[in-house]
């Protein structure tokens, strides 16, 4: 606690062997963050500049990749600063803000995946009504809700925690997540119940909706020609892979928080790193390689660069 400025500081106590490996940690995470920025930004840029990709499916993909960039930017810059600092400190207000960004943006991912599954459902199961249903206005509403609804729901418990008395000032993690509530002197049962309701609204319900839409898609395609099944697989498989990956990591994050007192510090550190490493890199790889239109534009982009370099020589 800084009594002069009246600022409460939290120590991020989840780091391991910082004196020995700080530069290795920094180099590794800086490389990953650079790859996340480059890979996600490249696909977002391609979707933005090519008119042929201005369809709901690709707009949702761009929104999903942009969301990955925002999540990474909420975590990585602070993490990189901590690796080079003697003490890993963060003000309580900044910690709450990071926690808010992390969970609201992660929740937005589920809603964006749900919007993508609905787009595929309409495209495959109601092709004649697709242009009428998936208008630009509809897409904008889905995007606005995907970011606005989780932000509103996550903001309430975070704002209520702002004036809560703390009895512990060491967070057993490397960034601010749900562990922050364990710093409180008294745990609030109402806050716990509300958190479960929010979790159900922004993760369980979207997943159930996705399962429902893909079940309908599977039934329709199973009864259709082989060409229809192949086309459905090309567009739906990447979305399912991303959903499975993200659901696993989101559950993984919840489990880490619950088990943090039972795990050795090194194992907890490694598990926490995995939560923020894989998914932001997995998304652009899946959509870049599995979505034919995006893959073709990526290939043309790099072929043009090689051609320009060859001409300059």
Burial class (CB in 10 A: 0-12, 13-18, 19+), 311: exposed
Residue 1: is its pLDDT beyond 70? no
| pLDDT tens readout for residues 237-263 | 777 888 887 787 777 777 666 655 566
Confidence of residue 305 (pLDDT cuts 50, 70, 90): low
Pure H helices in the chain? 18-49, 56-83, 92-125, 130-133, 136-161, 189-199, 205-222, 226-259, 265-290, 292-312
User: What residue has token string 């808010």?
Assistant: 100
For the chain, how far is it from start to end, CA to CA, in angstroms? 60
Burial class (CB in 10 A: 0-12, 13-18, 19+), 265: middle
| pLDDT tens readout for residues 18-30 | 888 899 999 999 9
Listed in sequence order, the residues at least 6 apart from 277 whose beta carbon sits closer than 8 Å to its beta carbon are 32
Cα-Cα-Cα-Cα dihedral sign, residues 133, 135, 141, 146: positive
DSSP state of 166: B
Which residues lie across from 166 on neighbouring strands?
184
Percentage of the chain modeled with pLDDT above 90:
30
Mean predicted lDDT score pLDDT of the chain: 83
| pLDDT tens readout for residues 96-116 | 999 999 999 989 999 999 999
CA distances from 245 to 22, 44, 276, 280, 285 (A): 29, 20, 12, 11, 13
Query: How far apart are alpha carbons 215 and 45 in whole angstroms?
Result: 33
pLDDT recorded at residue 247: 80
Longest CA pairwise span in the chain (Å)? 73
Domains of the chain: 9-312 (1.20.1070.10)
| pLDDT tens readout for residues 203-222 | 889 989 998 998 888 888 87
User: For the residues 282-302, what does the mean pLDDT come to?
Assistant: 76
pLDDT recorded at residue 290: 66
Query: How far apart are alpha carbons 79 and 164 in whole angstroms?
Result: 25
pLDDT recorded at residue 21: 87
| pLDDT tens readout for residues 60-98 | 999 999 999 999 999 999 999 999 988 889 999 999 999
Mean pLDDT check: name the lowest of 129-138, 179-188, 210-219.
Answer: 179-188
Count other C-beta atoms under 10 Å from residue 131's C-beta.
9
């Amino acid at each position: 606690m800084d009594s002069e400025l009246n600022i409460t500081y939290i120590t991020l106590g989840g780091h391991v062997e910082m004196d020995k490996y700080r530069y290795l940690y920094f180099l590794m995470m800086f490389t990953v963050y650079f790859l996340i920025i480059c890979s996600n930004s490249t696909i977002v840029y391609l979707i933005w500049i090519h008119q042929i990709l201005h369809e709901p499916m690709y707009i949702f993909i761009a929104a999903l990749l942009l969301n990955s960039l925002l999540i990474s930017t909420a975590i990585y810059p602070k993490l990189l600063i901590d690796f080079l600092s003697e003490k890993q400190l963060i003000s309580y207000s900044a910690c709450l803000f990071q926690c808010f960004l992390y969970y609201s943006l992660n929740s937005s991912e589920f809603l964006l995946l749900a919007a993508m599954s609905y787009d595929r459902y309409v495209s495959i199961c109601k092709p004649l009504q697709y242009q009428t249903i998936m208008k630009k206005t509809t897409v904008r509403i889905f995007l606005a809700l995907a970011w606005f609804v989780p932000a509103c729901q996550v903001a309430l418990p975070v704002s209520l925690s702002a004036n809560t008395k703390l009895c512990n000032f060491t967070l057993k993690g490397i960034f601010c997540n749900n562990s922050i509530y364990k710093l409180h002197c008294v745990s609030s049962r109402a806050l716990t119940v509300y958190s479960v309701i929010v979790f159900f609204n922004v993760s369980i319900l979207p997943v159930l909706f996705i399962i429902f839409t893909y079940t309908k898609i599977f039934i329709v395609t199973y009864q259709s020609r082989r060409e229809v099944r192949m086309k459905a697989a090309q567009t739906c498989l990447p979305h399912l892979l991303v959903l499975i990956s993200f659901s696993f990591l989101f559950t993984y994050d919840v489990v880490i928080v619950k088990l943090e007192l039972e795990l050795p510090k090194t194992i907890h550190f490694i598990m926490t790193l995995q939560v923020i490493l894989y998914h932001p890199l997995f998304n652009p790889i899946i959509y870049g390689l599995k979505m034919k239109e995006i893959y073709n534009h990526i290939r043309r982009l790099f072929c043009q660069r090689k051609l320009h370099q060859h001409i300059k020589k």
